[in-house]
């Protein structure tokens, strides 16, 4: 079930967390990215309760991140496939993986990501689409965008004062 309190905020991070912020959701997505698309396989890999997995999958399908595809009619059985919207979450998972490798894996990365075109292990980097420079916390800032409300503008003025 989406986190409704987050969904109502005029904030892209909060709205994203309304879909992805529940415990288990990112691990469910990890399994689908790894090619585990069937309910029983995801459940077995994660050790997650069936009702929790059903809820997470339903939220991801409702949000357009995954789509259900029937693979058996007797009985009805479905696989869960990433949509184009879901595939865009790869960058989020790569950044989580990068942070976890650096700060939570003292013995080294448990998995590495390989670029299939060249066969080399990748190092995830965020790059400016305008100048090609590498992005990090010390060289970016936010400003109000076209979806900002009058309330957002007032809050911005309060922060600047």
Burial category of 56 from C-beta neighbours within 10 Å (exposed 0-12, middle 13-18, buried 19 and up): buried
> Could you tell me which CATH number the domain at 4-87 has?
1.10.10.10
The rounded distance, in Å, linking the Cα atoms of 161 and 151 is: 16
**CATH 1.10.10.10 segments of the chain:** 4-87
pLDDT in tens, 40-83: 999 999 999 999 999 999 999 999 999 999 999 989 999 999 99
The rounded distance, in Å, linking the Cα atoms of 53 and 38 is: 11
Could you give the 3-state DSSP secondary structure of residue 136?
coil
Helix 50-62 vs helix 39-46: angle between axes, to the nearest 10 degrees? 120
> At residue 145, what are phi and psi to the nearest 5 degrees?
-115, -175
Contact 65, 57 (CB under 8 A): no
Q: What percent of the chain has pLDDT over 90?
A: 89
Average pLDDT, the chain: 94
Q: Which of 17, 1, 3 is nearest to 57 (CA)?
A: 1
| pTM of the entire predicted model | 0.88
């Amino acid at each position: 079930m989406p986190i409704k309190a987050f969904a109502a905020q005029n904030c892209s991070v909060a709205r994203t967390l309304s879909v992805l912020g529940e415990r288990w959701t990112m691990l469910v997505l990890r399994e689908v990215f790894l090619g585990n698309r069937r309910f029983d396989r995801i459940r077995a890999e994660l050790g997650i309760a069936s009702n929790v997995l059903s809820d997470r999958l339903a939220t991801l399908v409702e949000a357009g991140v995954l789509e259900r595809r029937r693979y058996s009619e007797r009985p009805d059985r479905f696989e869960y496939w990433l949509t184009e919207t879901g595939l865009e979450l790869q960058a989020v998972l790569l950044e989580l993986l990068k942070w976890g490798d650096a700060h939570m894996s003292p013995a080294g990365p448990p998995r590495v990501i390989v670029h299939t075109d060249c066969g080399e292990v990748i190092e995830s980097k965020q790059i400016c689409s305008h100048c090609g420079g590498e992005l990090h916390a010390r060289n970016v800032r936010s400003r109000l965008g076209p979806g900002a409300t009058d309330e957002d503008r007032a809050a911005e003025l309060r922060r600047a004062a």
